[in-house]
Amino acid sequence: MRLSVLDQSVAVTGRSEDASIRETLALAQHCEGLGYDRFWVSEHHSHPTIVGSAPEVLMAAIAATTQRIRIGSAGVMLPHYSALKVAEQFRVLEALAPGRIDLGVGRAPGSDGRTAQLLNPNARHAADDFPRQVRELQAWVGGVDLPEGHPGRGVTANPTGPGAPTLWMLGSSNYGAQLAAHYGLPYAFAYFITDGQGAEEALAIYRELYRPSALHPEPQPALCVWALAADTEDQAWQLFTSRERWKIDRNQGALGPLQSPAEVAQRPYGTAEQAEADRLRRTALVGSAGQVAGKLRALSDTLQVEELVVITWTHDPVARRRSYELLAQALGAAPA
């Protein structure tokens, strides 16, 4: 099993949002030392919790402070942008970190409708152009000219070089799976967004419809999962209360920084909230290192996915680093 990381630069109570960006940078260096294969960062806009808004900028900083680990976006929300500009940004990243850049793209806005409109005044129609944008991006990133008659034919995304970023399709539904299969791209399913719903069907569609490409003759699926390990099971569940409280609040329309377990303890659950917390705990990938590793292996076997991309939220950055350390040890990542 290959182990990778997805980090979202989560805001937490008691610290400013800019500190979350610097913590992402520190975590990338830590996970490289632990032997993780990739380190991906997300894109959200005007979000009270997830403050990573410019993955291409953050990736450049990570590239400058690491040596081996692959660096990627999970993802660039392509309908906000020109495919040519995204290709140029990632060609620059490839020049900075040759052979280490992943360009994960998604169709979701990563924001509310009003913010999406401000990012792109044509946002209402941009999602419909997503397949065309992906095809253009595939050509420009790979240094392949576009077909005769295309307005972008003859245009080059600089800088060129011997290598190219690896394009990934991200998704949480059958749509992304179908598009990844059509274009012969690696595909990462956002299991942590859907709580697993739809994963089996989307991955089956991806494999069944896959059209081999020159770069990817075989399907390459990955699973993005939320997981948390600690030295003891009790400690893990205590740390999980931050994420648990956040999800319950979010479902009630309240978003904000991640609270500490101590702060969460000062807000007792009502009856309905407790029922929701119990439901979340039944499926959460939380526990000691051995417990979580066993759950992840079982999930990997069930869905026949060889790469897991792990996302972890904790209020305390030390606890988050420890979780990644424990999982790397339990699942056999090779330290750098």
How do the domains of the chain map onto residue ranges?
2-232+290-331
The β-bridge relationship of strands 285-288 and 38-41 is unpaired
Measured CA to CA, the distance from residue 201 to residue 30 in angstroms comes to 35
Q: Are 71 and 62 in contact (CB under 8 A)?
A: yes
Tokens of 126: 């941009």
Spatial CA neighbour of 203 closest among 239, 229, 226, 173 = 173
In the beta sheet, which residues pair with residue 102?
72, 166
- In 3-state terms, what secondary structure has residue 271? helix
Per-residue confidence of the chain (336 residues) as pLDDT tens digits?
899 999 999 999 999 999 999 999 999 999 999 999 999 999 999 999 999 999 999 999 999 999 999 999 998 999 999 999 999 999 999 999 999 999 999 988 777 888 888 888 876 677 778 999 999 999 999 999 899 989 999 999 999 999 999 999 999 999 999 999 999 999 999 999 999 899 999 999 999 999 999 999 999 999 999 999 999 999 999 999 999 999 999 999 999 999 999 999 999 999 999 999 999 999 999 999 999 999 999 999 999 999 999 999 999 999 999 999 999 999 987 776
CA 265, chain centre distance (Å) = 29
- What is the sign, positive or negative, of the torsion defined by CA atoms of 325, 294, 2, 198? negative
Measured CA to CA, the distance from residue 61 to residue 26 in angstroms comes to 10
CA 43, chain centre distance (Å) = 9
- In 3-state terms, what secondary structure has residue 201? helix
Angle at 128 between CA 125 and CA 130, to 5 degrees: 115
Measured CA to CA, the distance from residue 7 to residue 16 in angstroms comes to 17
Whether a cis peptide bond, with omega within 30° of 0, leads into 75 is yes
In the beta sheet, which residues pair with residue 4?
309
pTM reported for the whole predicted model: 0.96
Tokens of 177: 């799976």
Spatial CA neighbour of 261 closest among 243, 277, 273 = 243
pLDDT at 310 (0 to 100): 98
Spatial CA neighbour of 262 closest among 181, 224, 316 = 316
CATH of domain 2-232+290-331: 3.20.20.30
Residue 137, C-beta contacts closer than 8 angstroms, at least 6 positions apart:
78, 83, 86, 87, 103, 105, 167
Tokens of 309: 């991309």
Long-range pairs, 287-290, Cβ under 8 A, ≥24: 287/229, 287/230, 287/233, 287/236, 287/237, 288/229, 288/230, 288/231, 288/232, 288/233, 288/236, 288/326, 289/229, 289/231, 289/326, 289/327, 289/329, 289/330, 290/330
Angle at 176 between CA 184 and CA 252, to 5 degrees: 160
pLDDT at 113 (0 to 100): 82
pLDDT at 319 (0 to 100): 98
pLDDT at 123 (0 to 100): 65
Residue 231, C-beta contacts closer than 8 angstroms, at least 6 positions apart:
288, 289, 322, 326
CA 292, chain centre distance (Å) = 19
